Amino acid sequence: MRLINGLHDAINAKLGRLVRHPADLKFLSGLVDKATAGARGHRRQAVAEPKSVMDTVKALPFSDREHLYAIYLDQPQGRVVATHEMSIGGQASAPVPMADIMEEARRHKAGAAILVHNHPSGAAHPSIEDVQVTNAARREAKRHGFVLQDHFIRAGDTVTSIMGAAA
């Protein structure tokens, strides 16, 4: 039990150094709490392991054009099982091929997905269109029997959670 609590605290401390926006840190810390709850005697929920997801997000190659990636997760473990570049757009937007995102989720037998796109402008805050696309993707994922866990924006070294910002 002490080992689990120590691990929980260490992960949260590391997140504090990796994530700059307070809302994102709170959101990811919540995921750590949920992920370690089962080992601490609480009901465990299926969530992505935050460090694994953040490592994946930070490793994605981006350029001066928007790129949209989908990170697929198995359930109930929440491990990354696949990452796919879904589209490349211009400097201010990228197409969101919803049917392709859903098809890849089925192909990988993923129980959840996380979308990630970059903002070449360096602005880490979600636009109104980002929030609308996220809400549409969440509804579509639910209709297809899996969960959209989040949609992140990466702007330089900053990562912002659209779902965390909208909550």
Domains for the chain: give ranges and CATH numbers.
46-166 (3.40.140.10)
Helix (H), strand (E) at residue 2:
helix 2-18
- Higher confidence at residue 138 or residue 7? 138
47 and 33 Cβ atoms separated by less than 8 Å = no
Residue 26 has pLDDT above 50, yes or no: yes
pLDDT (0 to 100) of residue 166 = 53
Q: What is the mean pLDDT of residues 69-81?
A: 86
Provide the pLDDT confidence category of residue 36 given band limits of 50, 70 and 90. Answer: very low
Residue 55 has pLDDT above 50, yes or no: yes
Q: What is the mean pLDDT of residues 96-108?
A: 91
- Higher confidence at residue 85 or residue 54? 85
Residue 86 has pLDDT above 80, yes or no: yes
Closest listed residue to residue 114, CA positions, set 141, 76, 144: 141
CA dist., res. 164 & res. 45, Å (int): 18
pTM higher than the cut 0.75: no
pLDDT (0 to 100) of residue 116 = 93
CA dist., res. 152 & res. 134, Å (int): 10
Query: Percentage of the chain with pLDDT > 70?
Result: 67
